[in-house]
Structure 1
């Protein structure tokens, strides 16, 4: 039985795809960043996934391996909408869902709800300027610098982040950021 071959990290990957009605995660970049954000709230998971600063910020080879394994089992697939559960994956995750503690389900749902509809730039600005230690090998950061304030403002206007968080992401004092919003 496939369920016996899945560990808790595999199941968490499935839970991410299942969260919020099973909407596809837009792509590998979002999978990596959403699982990174989940892991930042779960030290054992963070240790297991071993995220490293890479070309587009935090990256885990373990996450790639999990996807490949779940794809071989026929549980996940890449579609034109992103990464999603297959019908077989949906059936399996229903059983897995009950064994995941509520606090973890809510965390995964909150992060997917927050990140899934972010643009590529919004996702990277949020992750890069919240976890700057994960950008040391980034090939993207330089290109984002010029857009940083505009992207932070957009995140604030969409209600994705607080004024304080937006000013942090923009890299300016809150009073200056507040003034820029009013202009």
Structure 2
């Protein structure tokens, strides 16, 4: 639990709202649970106040938040996780709309910009591409089952990120360095 005076239920409500906002950022599901965890990680990194509510830890496939996974698994009134991916129910869409309105106009604009960047850039990535980018940028490799195979394919993965316009030539060179 984050260091705050909030109850577990209050923190859970905040997590659900933040996840709903993330999922509302595109008219398509997030592909799978791995990509969901990485996109949530990247989105919440832009908002340190919210990042602390997720308590990301190193895991088999990079940064992982058990509280975020629990929200998806235990709140089927808001979230769906199936073969199509992870997306919002009608009630989840309402939660996202109401939640975004709780912010000041300035903060709402910042959230929308960050949300659009995360969903437009990272939704197109494979799990390997997204994991590689997150590992090379933020670490979280301690318990990884994938880091060795990703590093063996670093030139290919970095090339795919460059081709998709997610990174620059300079970042490409940084990613392929040892």
TM-score by length of 2: 0.84
1:93 aligns with 2:100: no
Distance (whole Å) between structure 2 residues aligned to residue 129 and residue 104 of structure 1: 25
Structure 1 residue 127 displacement after superposition: 0.7
Structure (1 or 2) with the larger CA radius of gyration: 1
1:160 aligns with 2:166: yes
1:17 aligns with 2:23: yes
Show CA shifts across 1:35-86 (max 9, x none). Answer: 1112222222222211111111111111112213322xx1111232200111
Secondary structure of the residue that 1:7 maps to in structure 2?
A: helix
1:64 aligns with 2:64: no
Distance (whole Å) between structure 2 residues aligned to residue 116 and residue 157 of structure 1: 15
RMSD of aligned residue pairs (Cα, Å) = 1.9
Q: 1:92 to 1:40 in 2, by over 3 A?
A: closer
Secondary structure of the residue that 2:26 maps to in structure 1?
A: helix
Distance (whole Å) between structure 2 residues aligned to residue 128 and residue 26 of structure 1: 19
Equivalent position to 2:177, from 146, 158, 171: 171
Structure 1 residue 126 displacement after superposition: 0.5
Give yes or no for contact 2:72–2:81 (8 Å, CA) kept in 1: no
1:141 aligns with 2:144: no
User: Aligned pair count?
Assistant: 165
Structure 1 residue 105 displacement after superposition: 2.3
Secondary structure of the residue that 1:84 maps to in structure 2?
A: strand
| Structure 2 counterpart of 1:46 | 51
TM-score by length of 1: 0.82
Secondary structure of the residue that 2:132 maps to in structure 1?
A: helix
Unaligned runs of 5+ in 1: 173-183
Unaligned runs of 5+ in 2: 1-8
| Structure 2 counterpart of 1:78 | 81
Structure 1 residue 90 displacement after superposition: 2.0
| Structure 2 counterpart of 1:178 | none
